[in-house]
Every structure is written in C-alpha cells, then in structure tokens.
Amino acid sequence: MNRAFLPFARPDIGEEEIAAVADAMRSGWLTTGPNASAFEKEFAEFLGGGRFAVAVNSATAGLHLAYEAIGVGPGDQVLVPTWTFTSTAEAVRYLGGDPVLVDVDPRTLCIDLADAARRVTERTVAVAPVHYAGLAVPDAALTAFAAAHGLKVVEDAAHAFPTLNEGTLVGAGRHAATVFSFYATKTMTTGEGGMIVTADEALAARMRTMRLHGINRDVFDRYSSSKPSWHYDVVAPGYKYNLTDTAAAMGRVQLRRAPEMMARRAAIADRFDAAFADLPVQRPPRAAEGSSHAWHIYNVRLTEDAPVGRDRFIELMAEAGVGTSVHFIPLHLHPYWRDTYRLAPDDFPVASAEFERSVSLPIFSAMSDADVEHVVGAVRGILG
C-alpha cells in the first residue's frame, strides 16, 4: 500500500471560508471591524447568550488579558496543571506572577484538584484549569474548589469548543473568564486567533481596552460613531491583541460549521475506540452523562505489554505514513520552568509517568474514511 503521508493535523477549510475571506478583503476593511464584531456576537449566541465575547489574535493573548483583568500582578500565584501548553503558565509570568504547577488526574490528565489544594498558599489568587483534549474538568468540583480557597477561575478552553460540562457549554458557566483558541490545528480555526468569554461586563470592558493599546474606543467605533473620529483616550499601557476582520470572516464560517466538524471528530473517536479495544493501549476517557468531549486530541497510552515503547511507536507510525504528536511534554520537564522554579519529575509523579507512554493520533474533521482506516491499520500493524 502506497498512501500519501497523513499529517497529524490539517485545518478543515472549504470554499465557504475562502469566499468569506475574499469578501472581507474586497470590503476595504481588513483590521478589526464589522466581521470581528459579528463574530463576537455570534460566538456569544452559540454559547446561549448573556455573555460578552472578546475576539483576540491568539488564546495566549486571551489568557494574558484575562489574568490582567482579574488582577494578577507581581508575586501572585496562579495554579496551572503541568500537563498543558506553555501559554497557560507563561501569561502569568507576563504580569510578574508565578504559575504554581499542579499534577494531573491519571484518568483524564486534567488538573488534580486534591493536589492543587495542597499547593495553595496565601499568595494564590486564581486557578487556570485546562479542559485537556476537549474533556472538561467537572464543573461542580471545580467551582467548589475555587470557592473553598477564594480563587478566581480562568478556564483554558483551547481544546474545549464545543464541550458540554455537566449540562452547560464550556464558556457559558459562571467562571471569571473562559479562553478559546482558533490556532490552525484547533477544533475551529482563524489561522491565528482566540476568543475570551465572560459574563462580567466590567471585566469584558477592561479586556477590550487592554486588547488595543489601552485605548477606550476601538478603531471601528471611532470611524462609525458620531464623535470626532480623530479623538481617543489612552487610559492604560495596553497591548496589541485585536483580531483582524479577514480572520474573523473565516471564524464566522467555522463557527457555523462547528457542530458538523464536531460530529465528524466524534465518529472518528468511536471508530478508534472500537478498533483499538483489543490492543495494549489505554484509550482516552469518555465524558460522563451530561457532559461531552470535543475530541480535539485523541491521546492513547501504551501499556506495559505493548511490544514497543512510545518513541519507537512514533517512528514506526511515521514509517507507516502517519504523523503523530505528544500532548503534552509536561511543563516541569521544560528547562525554563524546571530551572526557574527548581522542579523535579518526582514533584509530579502522575504527569511524569504518563508522559512516557502518551501519544496523540490524528483526529481532525477533514480526515476521510480512508485516512481513518490508514491510522487504524498503522496502529494495529505495530501493536496488534
């Protein structure tokens, strides 16, 4: 069999997205404008309304703005699972705060709230749970934990669109802020981009101001309102985190297609679960009743009786024409975090052990049935 190499991820972009971006380019308005405003409104409506959505140029920027708006400052601590991308922690450093890494639950690889409780100090101000792979940290437990310790919650929902958490969509709950990513590999994309969602109007206003240089009127407002267009006030030293209208135009189409893309990923996960049932792998956990899985990542863990280790498995998958990845190399194993906070593998026994046997298989909505069978055949050829 001589199939083309299947990459680990490929965005699901069709003619509708291309036409929407072309229309935006022809409209004469490229930067944040009518498409970005409409995208924010439609995103908030998707989550059920009653929310403010703030479009940004990445989830990393969104995390920075959310932490800033809730008041994270020098010396403040934010609890972050070690099993995440570096953004969740680095944005705390931007503000002079200290991320406090936390070990993960062995089943879900999401933040272990019992371990988090042990790491709370009088400097801890917030917790930033990551809904790993698209399966949410159970909300009742998360809410109770935050209340017990007086912490604000900033959800890193980069994987969790759309995800139901105990009956409520992630982003439609009561937490201070929820941050989504529209990076090219995520469940919906604008190339680069993100969205912050909050129910708190003052928080939304602060994030909108800081998103654009600390200016309290955005460019689109200035050119479309009756006040003189040359006038603006700088009220804080803000950032440059606004989303372009070309990106927002793509995002509006992706948002409409999100349920269909989600259903495709769920079907792929079902096929993988069935195909790997008799293999020496631990398959990903399933959502509990009332919750759902966005299936951004399909992570398997090789068990002791697997004929090869994780690194060799990745090489053999590549030889069989399938790209894979690892989500994540835990933060405490990266030089910056390890050396800055003097962290050792033993401080995070679950994440350190699970990392050694974890691998992510391709699961994206643009995969054909033949692509899915290509992955199944490659995995079974190595482990079967």
Ligand X SMILES: *Cc1c(COP(=O)(O)O)cnc(C)c1O
Residue closest to 129 by CA, chosen among 99, 169, 150, 97: 99
Nearest approach, Cβ of residue 369 and ligand X (Å): 27
The catalytically annotated residue of 41, 186, 227, 240 is 186
Per CB under 6 A, which of residues 114..143 are in contact with ligand X? 130
- Whether residue 186 lies in the annotated active site: yes
Answer for the pair 133, 297: CB distance below 8 angstroms, yes or no. Answer: yes
Interacting positions 235-294 with ligand X (CB under 6 A): none
Cis peptide before 162 (omega within 30 of 0): yes
In a 13 Å sphere around the CA of 342, the CA atoms on its Cβ side amount to 0
Binders of ligand X among residues 179 to 218 (CB under 6 A) are 181, 183, 194
Question: 70-89: which residues touch ligand X (CB under 6 A)?
Answer: 84-85, 87-88
88 or 178: CB nearest ligand X: 88
108-292-78 Cα angle (round to 5) = 50
Could you tell me the two tokens for 131? Answer: 């809904």
Between 57 and 383, CB nearer to ligand X: 57
What's the min distance (Å) between Cβ of 60 and ligand X?
Answer: 3
77 vs 88 by CB, closer to ligand X: 88
Q: Which of 293, 360, 345, 353 is nearest to 106 (CA)?
A: 353
Cβ–Cβ under 8 Å, residues 293 and 363:
no
Please select the residue that binds ligand X; options are 127, 137, 158, 379, rule is CB under 6 A: 158
Q: Given the complex with ligand X, which of 159 and 213 has the nearer CB atom?
A: 159
Residues binding ligand X: what is the number (CB under 6 A)? 14
Exposure string over 121-139, b if 16+ CB within 10 A, otherwise e: eeebbbbbbbbbbbbbbbb
Is residue 35 a contact point for ligand X (CB under 6 A)?
A: no
Q: What share of the chain is helix, strand, coil (3-state, %, to 5)?
A: 40, 15, 40
Interface stretch with ligand X, choices 154-162, 240-248, 259-267, 359-367 (CB under 6 A): 154-162
Q: Which is nearer to ligand X, 44 or 294 (CB)?
A: 294
Alpha-carbon span 44 to 39, nearest angstrom? 9
User: Binding segment for ligand X among 24-32, 153-161, 333-341, 365-373 (CB under 6 A)?
Assistant: 153-161
Using alpha carbons only, give the angle 186, 191, 194 rounded to the nearest 5 degrees.
65
Pick 61 or 146: Cβ nearer ligand X:
61
Q: Using CA atoms, how far apart are residues 28 and 261, in angstroms rounded to an integer?
A: 31
What are the φ and ψ backbone dihedral angles of 54, each rounded to 5 degrees? -120, 110
Q: Would you state the structure tokens that stand for residue 256, as one six-digit string?
A: 């409409």
CB of 89 to ligand X, least distance (A): 10
**Beta 298-302 vs 281-282: how paired, if at all?**
antiparallel
Per the CB < 8 A criterion, the answer to whether 332 and 81 are in contact is: no
Joined tokens for residue 175? 């937490």
By beta-carbon proximity to ligand X, the closer residue of 332 and 374 is 332
The CA-CA-CA angle for residues 61, 64, 65, to 5°, reads: 90
- Smallest gap from Cβ 234 to ligand X, in A, equals 26
In angstroms, what is the minimal distance from the CB of 87 to ligand X?
Answer: 4
Give min distance, CB of 254 to ligand X, in A: 14
The least CB distance from residue 327 to ligand X, in Å, is 7
Shortest reach from residue 55's CB to ligand X, in Å: 12
Tokens standing for residue 320: 């069989």
Helices 59-70 & 87-94, crossing angle to 10 degrees? 50
Q: Which is nearer to ligand X, 192 or 218 (CB)?
A: 192
Could you give the string, one character per residue 40-59, with x where binding to ligand X holds by CB under 6 A and - elsewhere?
Answer: ------------------xx
Binding positions for ligand X, rule: CB under 6 A:
58-60, 84-85, 87-88, 130, 156, 158-159, 181, 183, 194
Task: Please list the active-site residues.
Answer: 186
